[in-house]
Structure 1
């Protein structure tokens, strides 16, 4: 059983829901408090032990690559002005040399296609996949770290899930719950994409975190276009599940879809309230607004 060393981040989306803000700024670079969304997700992967960060980019996404590089002029200015705390924070967030890779998804052909674009960089080893729009916010270990613990026990493929309201299961990918394997993890018995109302096998919805075996790349290469005319990752996972085990890990914190305006706004409030340097002052301001 190979260790998970690499993580893929699909960041090629246009972010049209946030226009005009995303006309010149990638949606992944919009900030939740004082960090870009993509930085929060990379931090989660790093906490889980990921060593190589693979970004599947698109046009006008060069600023993401710049963000994960040294900014010599900025560092020099901070050093000259004695802003050592800010300088140290930038150094802490910076991946080491050789730990990042960037590849281009030339056409918007779906999540499955974006994952396939990373095939040569990932190689023949299992990898993590983190959707940057989905921020997993909770106490204690991060979502991917919990999934890695389950993977270390049983191997296979893993999907993070959360408990969705029963009347909303038709909006999500849903998995069926089988034998428990310890902690919050279990065997997956079914995977259904947006089941019709009243037909879902459970209320456990896919949350945008995966651990996948490399055999998925061969399936994605020949995968026909599915819903929306795109190459769907779920279709290839369903095929892979015929020969390999899939497991689920229930994330107990809050999940914010920052690709939606409400999710993005609430994420900013939640992350700020959890900060010792901002929480109390923000609560006071919210009370002043009558909230």
Structure 2
């Protein structure tokens, strides 16, 4: 099962990051020297993905512009001898074959994924949530692709979270299969304490078979009155085999202010242009507290 395509749902309103996201898509907020969504796309590309569909809404044309050529800017950079900057600007546009479709109504994550049906066709495909940045030696998407290709089925990214946190995510019923891979038998979205199936939660990465589309198309609204991807996956894992990969990575939820700042600081500390300066700055700042 070769995985060549990926879908990035990015049609959310970004209400957790207001007022900044009133006019700037949350996926386009700068994290050090590039927007959040570029980190997501780079992960997909590093996992061997060739074609990427971004599901947007009417207020997010900035993403389309960003991953396109900008001849006027590129000419100015070339004339100014700023070759390094020119390379970076062009690199963003050449990362992958990027396509767009709009989610015309805010009907939930499951509906956003369903909008990718024509793009995906009859192939397995990856889903990378636009809020979640993963820092890993091996891209998390690549870890899931390997599981899909080995076991011939859908794979979801899972990690164990605290009892307090599991109610914010999708809890899964699972059984150990091999190494960091588990068989998935059931799941539920944002469970109450008495409904928790395990402390393993699905976190931001999926590789799915196209069978999910017919399921999503016929789903009734679930939690929050929206078409929930978890409800679709719940039905999918009952119809065909599904595995969960306890992925190795540091996950950042950049859809909220604390997670965004945590990711920005960690990546800035590793960036060659800012790392040394930021360490000195933090040490001096700490003395003043």
TM over 0.5: yes
Alignment of 1:123-272 (within 5 A): 123-138=121-136, 140-182=137-179, 184-197=180-193, 199-272=195-268
TM-score, normalised with respect to structure 2: 0.94
Q: Following superposition, which runs of at least 4 residues in structure 1 exceed 6 angstroms of deviation?
A: none
1:70: which partner in 2? 69
State the distance in 1 between where 2:129 and 2:87 align.
28
Unaligned runs of 5+ in 1: none
Q: Deviations over 1:71-112 (max 9, x none)?
A: 111111111111111111222232368x12111111000001
Alignment length (residue pairs): 287
State the distance in 2 between where 1:191 and 1:227 align.
Answer: 13
What is the CA-CA distance between 1:120 and the residue it aligns to?
Answer: 0.8
Which stretch shifts more, 167-176 or 128-137? 167-176
Q: 1:116: which partner in 2?
A: 114
Tell me by how many angstroms 1:199 deviates: 4.9
Partner of 2:82: 83
What is the CA–CA distance in structure 2 between the aligned matches of 1:19 and 1:166, rounded to whole Å? 29
Distance 1:257 1:14 in 2: 15
**SS of residue matched to 2:184:** strand
What are the ranges of 5 or more consecutive residues in structure 2 without an aligned counterpart? none
Q: 1:18 to 1:288 in 2, by over 3 A?
A: same
> CA shift at 1:256, angstroms?
1.1
SS in 1 for 2:8: strand
Structure 1 residues 241-268: Cα deviation after superposition (integer angstroms, max 9, x where no partner): 1121111111232211111111111110
The match for 1:53 is 52
Alpha carbons 2:160, 2:199 under 8 Å: kept: yes
Give yes or no for contact 1:181–1:187 (8 Å, CA) kept in 2: no
Per-residue deviation at 1:36?
A: 0.5
SS at match of 2:126: strand
- Output the TM-score relative to the length of structure 1: 0.94
Tell me the CA shift for residue 126 of structure 1.
Answer: 0.9
CA distance in 1: counterparts of 2:164 and 2:16, whole angstroms = 25
Q: Measure the CA separation in 2 of the matches of 1:179 and 1:44.
A: 27
